[in-house]
Amino acid sequence: MPRRDPFENLTLPSADRHSPSADAPGTPPSPLDLIPRAKPKKRRREWERRHKSYTYWVSGQDLVTRAKAVRESIRGLAEAYMTTTDQVAEALMSAALDAVRDGEIELQVQPNSNPKARRMTVEVVREPGWKRDIPRPKGRSRKITLVLAYRWSKEMHQRIVTLAGNARIGEVVVTLLEEALERVRKGIWTLRPRVVAITQETQVEVNLSNSWKIGGSSSNLSGT
């Protein structure tokens, strides 16, 4: 007695009738045709909607060098704590702003000397006056610039803007992050990891000890 094909009486689901094995007449479906196809999952972007990406322009050789060092330090911490640079930067900035409010950090930045920040207007008076030469425009020098971009809350951005006042906001951001990173290096502040569902978040807390702990083991941060 010949062996029967166990799949000869099976019918394909409606979603799989367009498979190559279903188009051939008299061809029984393969086991692969009977496996439900996975539906693509839509990525949730609640965190991105709550945390807009804010950009801060940094200009000048010295400030750009400092900003690059800050950016690399934040990236290194993000890799060490298995989280994102945005979450590390947000934790550092939040602690720095609170420290300025409590008088722990004294912010010293230069006022904005950019002439574009102080615009004027003129009017033509149809009356005689002194003769004057029409000046030629100054040549534009190529400035060294850098853009720092981090995702954090609108409230935090507004706190930075209010604190900056008439100072360059990019310099304020760099200075605050520098102050926070320096306190982490010295062990004055502690990065405390917090496990979440997908990624690991970090918090900065004030600590008078010179070490930070993860999983029961301690490591010294001073001098790094």
Residue-wise pLDDT tens digits, 75-103:
999 999 888 999 999 999 999 999 999 99
30 is a domain residue? no
pLDDT band for 210, please (50, 70, 90 cuts): very low
pTM of the model: 0.60
196 is a domain residue? yes
DSSP secondary-structure letter at 188?
S
Domain count for the chain, please give it: 1
183 is a domain residue? yes
136 is a domain residue? no
Of the two residues 123 and 118, the one the predictor is more confident about is 123
90 is a domain residue? yes
> Looking at the predicted structure, is the pLDDT value of residue 130 above 90?
no
Q: What residue numbers bound the domain in which 189 lies? A: 47-114+143-220
83 is a domain residue? yes
> Looking at the predicted structure, is the pLDDT value of residue 176 above 60?
yes
134 is a domain residue? no
**Which range has the worst mean pLDDT, 51-55, 140-144, 194-198?**
194-198
14 is a domain residue? no
SS3 161: helix
- Single out the residue of 191, 172, 183, 190 nearest to residue 67, CA to CA: 172
Q: What percent of the chain has pLDDT over 90?
A: 38
Three-state SS for 89-130 is: HHHHHHHHHHHHHCCCCCCCCCECCCHHHCCCCCCCCCCCCC
How many C-beta atoms surround the C-beta of residue 153 within 10 A?
14
Half-sphere exposure for 40 (CA within 13 Å, toward CB): 2
